[in-house]
Amino acid sequence: MSLIQKIIDFFLGLFGMKKSAPPQLAAPPAVAASSSSSSSSASDTDDDDDDKPIDRQKYAQEQWAETQQGIARFEAGSQLPAGLTWNDPVAFWMKAFGVEEAQMKGKDNDAAARENGFRGYEHFVECRDYVTWKWSVLGTNSDGQPDVVVKDEYTNAMMKARMGQHQAAQAAAANADPTLLQPEDGVTVEAWAGASANLAQLPQNATMAQVAEVLARFGLDKARYDKANLAWQAKMQRDTTAVIATKFGEAFAAAQGQGAGAGEPCTFEKFCEVMAAQAMWAEQGLDVNAQLRAVFGINAAEYSKYSSYWSPKMATDIAMVNRQQELDRKYRAKYQGAASTADDDLSL
């Protein structure tokens, strides 16, 4: 399998797409030789050649040449569906994810592809590979080796398309079922989330009077809030489209001052550190809430502000995802032992 196909398959797996037949690119000689060597060869020369390390620069150049050949073949004998261009990858991947969605609904491959503007599934695969090739460059991989790599902008476009598909599905679900966001006992999802956010910011030893004061801002008392809270949580668990969870999250963040346009509640690295620390504390059986207060001086509500701000940004930025993975490894190692203290050089 060529490197570019591995790249394609990686991203298909990352975004939940089914793998399909690889593009028609010949394997480079070095790969073909190592995968088809015969132990019955009359000469030791071939075996010796097979044991030689691959010239990464040469291999990458060969892969790049094959990528360009694939682009030329497509442009000479095929074309993208009307309205799609290779330099608008978000629009292309919205269609590609549409193929996936049709498959999940029981359509066969060709029918799913035709439903989204392709001549058939083979044409879809050709178009998908062509667009991916057009967004590939000859560069270096994560190990610093010469390689054919996909630009971050392309991956970000795929992430945006997936998010767009998810949002469209949520909108359709909300329109199809008006009762989904219907108030529970007169309490809207926004009021429920707002009250929950404000309650979460109270100290653990808050008095009933303080709780009542918070709930009164939303026209609620504790009995009515508790009833609505149980009803909304039950309905949210039945909501497979996450419409309620999304609405709740947006309103919760807004109530805590972390809606759209709010400033950074902490640095991205601090967010990643706190997230990794919580994971390690949970693995060790420690009280995560107590550790948050002892180590970072925050509570779960404060951490939710961090997550509400940074998580949506990561959802459409592969560079941030890669950075988060690096920081996660760093801080998981730091918090593997007993309770630790935060870095002095990192500030909230």
Dist CA 115 CA 276 (whole Å): 43
In the chain, which residues have pLDDT < 50? 1-8, 10-12, 14-47, 259-260, 340-348
Dist CA 257 CA 262 (whole Å): 7
Report which residue type is found at 60.
A
Of 167, 154, 179, 107, nearest to 4 by C-alpha is 154
How confident is the model at residue 27, as a pLDDT?
31
Dist CA 209 CA 206 (whole Å): 8
Q: Is 146 helix (H, G, I), strand (E, B) or coil?
A: strand
Dist CA 53 CA 265 (whole Å): 49
pLDDT digits (tens, 9 = 90+) for 82-101: 999 999 999 999 999 999 99
Of 253, 261, 279, nearest to 201 by C-alpha is 253
Q: Output DSSP code: residue 157.
A: H
Q: CB of 244 within 8 A of CB of 182?
A: no
How confident is the model at residue 253, as a pLDDT?
77
Q: CB of 267 within 8 A of CB of 226?
A: no
Q: Among the residues of the chain, which ranges form H helices?
A: 3-14, 29-35, 44-51, 56-77, 89-104, 109-115, 121-134, 152-176, 189-200, 208-216, 222-238, 243-255, 268-283, 288-291, 300-314, 318-334
Dist CA 196 CA 232 (whole Å): 12
Q: CB of 3 within 8 A of CB of 148?
A: yes
Q: Is 152 helix (H, G, I), strand (E, B) or coil?
A: helix
Of 182, 270, 304, nearest to 231 by C-alpha is 182
The residue to which tokens 């995560």 are assigned: 288
Dist CA 117 CA 114 (whole Å): 5
DSSP letters for 203-239: -TT--HHHHHHHHHTTT--HHHHHHHHHHHHHHHHH-
How confident is the model at residue 262, as a pLDDT?
55
Q: What is the pTM of this model?
A: 0.61
Indicate the burial class of 83 (C-beta count within 10 angstroms; 0-12, 13-18, 19 or more): exposed
How confident is the model at residue 338, as a pLDDT?
52
* Residues contacting 48, CB < 8 A, separation 6+: none
Q: CB of 231 within 8 A of CB of 184?
A: yes
pLDDT digits (tens, 9 = 90+) for 209-258: 999 999 999 999 999 999 999 999 999 888 887 888 888 888 887 887 65
- 138 forms beta bridges with 148
Bridge-based pairing state of the strands 136-140 and 146-150 = antiparallel
Q: Which residues of 168-196 are buried (b: 16+ CB within 10 A; e: fewer)?
A: eebeebbeeeeebeeebeebbbbbbbbbb
